[in-house]
Amino acid sequence: MFKKIEEIFSIPELRKRILMTLMLLAVFRIGAHVPTPGVNGQALSQFFQNAGNNLLGFFDMFTGGALEKLTVFAMGVMPYISASIIMELLAVVIPTLAELKKRGSEGRQKITKYTRYLTVVVAVIQGLAISIGIENMRAPDGSPIVFMDGWQFRFIATLTLTTGTMFLVWLGEKITSYGVGNGMSLIIMAGIISSFPGAVVNTFSLMETGTVQIIPLIVAVAIMVGAFIAIVFMETSQRRLPIQYVRKGNAGGTVNAGNSYLPLRLNPAGVIPIIFASTLITLPATLATFMPQDPFVQKINFFFSPEYPVYYVLDLVLIIFFTYFYTSIIFNPTDIADNINKSGGVMPGKRPGIETANYIDYVLTRLTFIGAIYLAIVSVMPQLFIRAFGLPFYFGGTSLLIVVGVGLDVIQKIESHLLTHNYDGFLKKGRIRGRNWS
């Protein structure tokens, strides 16, 4: 193990990327404790604890505890994720955006720019809603949560929260460019992991008071271990489609130039559908907490409360929808078939072109179905168990999916650097190799 760490840090570029990632994540954690001007963080924390909103606590876990104290990073990167969802949906119905996506890096840069602009709009709306709703809140002991009222506070709070979100977006982009892994996903993962120590302490406190029983807790831990094994298996398994490469021989015929394969993950969409679904389903609960007097918001929140079955139905529908939707975005069977043909490859038994594309699409559709069911089960089933036995919400499968999925992605990127420099990876003489499902 120590030798492997030594090998990792012996590669200058990889060492620089890892240290850059850790440094930028440390900035995120420091900022999560910087209070928003005019807010009594202690009184707000007491209000949240007294409110007992499990779904809000789940959202707070995504921000690493920043929401509970309404610090500058209280909204996290959720406005950016919301903006990304909106942009992807708009690209389906607006031809101009669809064309931009086909223009390579230039088109992606423009879409990224538009997504940033939309993030500002979403962040301002959410920040203003939170600042308006929080003005009349009071802690259980009667302490005011806001030190100043009116538009002065609303302007300062909205500006602070929006700036905090945009800074995190910038931070995430820097991690993606100069660090290891996807920056936005790593920020969310860091927030979840930072909540674990407090969650463990809180669980023991609940056990001492008798609120949580030992047997259900042991069963919950066993379920999480089983979910962990399932996640690792699914995220590292592949369906490999064989490819044969041919070249012209000296006599004018063709000869076999080698064999390869097209690796397709059993869960092609990864953890992105979970992040998208979690963002949408927790947003109403967040706004409802800060706007308790608004009957319309409270009525909407009714459908997004874990106390009612409709919440789990919506969660399932969102996860399955985003699994299919995101897979269709990142995989284009026609483009894949064209690239295989241009590189001189053919799939055995399939004609180049439309037949190859149809076959890839057929396999992807089946894999997407498997991935959607897997994500739905791992996310929703632990939540049902938690609800039935009154366990803390942070034992859910969603947080585990994100942490393990993002963690595996980081490990695989580190491994690719090691293999490039002729080092072994982590498993099977250090390599994380995808299992082939034929």
Query: What stretches in the chain show pLDDT beneath 50?
Result: 429-431
Instruction: Please give the domain boundaries of the chain with CATH numbers for all domains.
Output: 1-192 (1.10.3370.10), 213-438 (1.10.3370.10)
User: Residues 6 or more apart from 90 whose CB is under 8 A from it?
Assistant: 97
Cite the DSSP H helix spans in 183-271. 183-209, 214-236
List CB contacts of 267: < 8 A, sequence separation 6 or more. Answer: 234, 235, 367, 370, 371, 374, 375
Q: Which two tokens stand for residue 408?
A: 């595996």
pLDDT at 43: 81
Q: How far apart are CA 420 and CA 319, in angstroms?
A: 36
pTM of the full structure? 0.84
Please give the DSSP secondary-structure letter assigned to residue 243: E
For 161, the token pair is: 């929260």
- How confident is the model at residue 438, as a pLDDT? 54
Distance CA 399, CA 268 (A): 19
pLDDT attached to residue 250 = 58
| Tokens 């590669």 belong to residue | 11
pLDDT of residue 83: 92
pLDDT, position 365:
94
Q: Which residue in 65, 43, 201, 56 sits closest to 137, CA to CA?
A: 43
pLDDT for res 165 = 96
pLDDT digits (tens, 9 = 90+) for 298-353: 666 666 777 778 888 888 999 999 999 999 988 889 989 998 988 888 898 899 88
pLDDT at residue 131, rounded to an integer: 86
Q: Are 121 and 86 in contact (CB under 8 A)?
A: no
DSSP code of residue 138 = B
- Percentages of the chain per state (helix, strand, coil), in multiples of 5: 70, 10, 25
Report the amino acid identity of residue 352. Answer: P
Pairing of strands 237-248, 435-436: parallel
What pLDDT was estimated at residue 431? 47
Q: Residue 13 CB: number of other CB atoms within 10 A?
A: 10
Residues 6+ apart with CB under 8 A from 235: 265, 267, 270, 404, 405, 408
pLDDT (tens digit, 9 = 90+) per residue, 93-118? 888 888 887 787 788 889 999 999 99
